[in-house]
Amino acid sequence: MNLRHFCVPTLICVAATASFAQPNRILSKIDRSHTFALPGRVHPLATAANDRGEVTSGFQLPHITMMLHPSATQQAKLQQLLQNQQDPKSASYHQWLTPEQYADQFGVSAGDAAQIVSWLEGQGFTVDPVSRSRTFVTFSGTAAQVQATFGTSIHNYNVKGQMHYANAGDLTIPAALSPMVASIRGLNDFRPKAKLSKPRPNWTLGPGDHVLAPDDFATIYNLTPMYTAGINGTGQKIAIMGQSTVSTSDINKFWSTFGLTSVKLVTQQVPRENPGTVQGDNDESALDIEWAGAVARNATIVFVYSYNVGIPLRTPSITMSLPSSA
């Protein structure tokens, strides 16, 4: 089971009462008369040896994301809040934030977000609604618009017989955005790869085969005391992200084989992002889902999938809270 899927960036649940308004950080006109560079944004496989030339000017880049970072003051307050949310002695203990509350405290201001959207639309991009957390903006456009706006061309690359596209150089951004733009993502189609060594797990015992069942996992990691104390996932949701559809019948069969009848699976496709069944990715996602349910046996597993988990996209709200001993 790959534990990276349990790292949930924003915990959301109980509404807070305070209201916040962040100051604007864009203090001058957004244009390219003054720019700053975002170095290190060229994919390592976008090399001269793999280069097969520039794409056409009308080449479509469907999901570009501008990542927006908090101010130093916001970051310090966020770190303190995260500590307080896990401290039973704090008034903020397990007081999770909604995305909107997170936006008001730690996202960019509504005014700055509106300015960014207006500027991107002025460059010809189609802009999605700003993320509820106001920490990123997703948009789409052509290679020509990318080059005019961010100062880099998009090229084709042949990597081990597979064609990809990527930006050929570092990006330049209007200086007015320097206080908040962390990165621009989605200018290439290189995706994270599954690391399974077999196409499917082999659950049939035979000579030399050694496999684990859910109760073996519970024994190895001493989970029985947690189960005895009622910490078994009841009332909880675990969000797992993937890059492929999965066979829900196979997953439910795995759970039922081992008597795990209370765990539930909900699948949610990110809007406009149906990757279909992708070999390797579907197997890794199935393993993550199966074993999340094998451990948190009364939980609801929410599987959210899209074309590329490396690019933040708008997803449904997932309510999640964990016991302090989990």
pLDDT digits (tens, 9 = 90+) for 44-90: 999 999 999 999 999 999 889 999 999 999 999 999 999 999 999 99
Position 4 pLDDT exceeds 90: no
Tell me the percentage of the chain whose pLDDT exceeds 70: 83
* Strand order across the 126-127 sheet: 126-127, 136-142, 60-68, 181-185
252-275 CB burial, b ≥16 within 10 A, e <16: bebbeeeebeebebebeebeebeb
pLDDT in tens, 184-211: 999 999 987 776 544 444 444 556 666 7
* Predicted local distance difference test score (pLDDT) of residue 299: 94
Degrees, nearest 5: CA angle 12-127-130: 20
Degrees, nearest 5: CA angle 200-201-204: 120
Q: What confidence category does residue 6 fall into, taking pLDDT thresholds of 50, 70 and 90?
A: very low
Q: Which of 17-21, 266-270, 290-294, 311-315 has the lowest mean pLDDT?
A: 311-315
pLDDT in tens, 100-147: 999 999 999 999 999 999 999 999 999 999 999 999 999 999 999 999
* Predicted local distance difference test score (pLDDT) of residue 201: 45
The mean per-residue pLDDT over the stretch 282-295 comes to 92
Residue 115, token pair as written in the block = 């300015």
User: Angle, to 10 degrees, between the axis of helix 281-295 and the axis of helix 248-257?
Assistant: 30
Q: What are phi and psi of 260, to 5 degrees?
A: -95, 85
CA distance 183 to 40: 10
Residue type at position 97: L
Distance of CA 247 to the CA centre of its chain: 22
* Predicted local distance difference test score (pLDDT) of residue 274: 81
Strand intervals (E) in the chain: 35-38, 51-54, 60-68, 126-127, 136-142, 154-159, 162-167, 171-174, 181-185, 237-242, 264-269, 300-305
Q: Count Cβ atoms within 10 A of the Cβ of residue 301 and give its class: 0-12 exposed, 13-18 middle, 19 or more buried.
A: buried
The mean per-residue pLDDT over the stretch 9-14 comes to 40
Mean confidence (pLDDT) of the chain: 85
Q: Count Cβ atoms within 10 A of the Cβ of residue 20 and give its class: 0-12 exposed, 13-18 middle, 19 or more buried.
A: middle
CA distance 168 to 165: 9
Least Cα distance to 134 among 267, 302, 20, 274 occurs for 20
Residue 308, token pair as written in the block = 């590329």
Least Cα distance to 251 among 284, 212, 278 occurs for 284
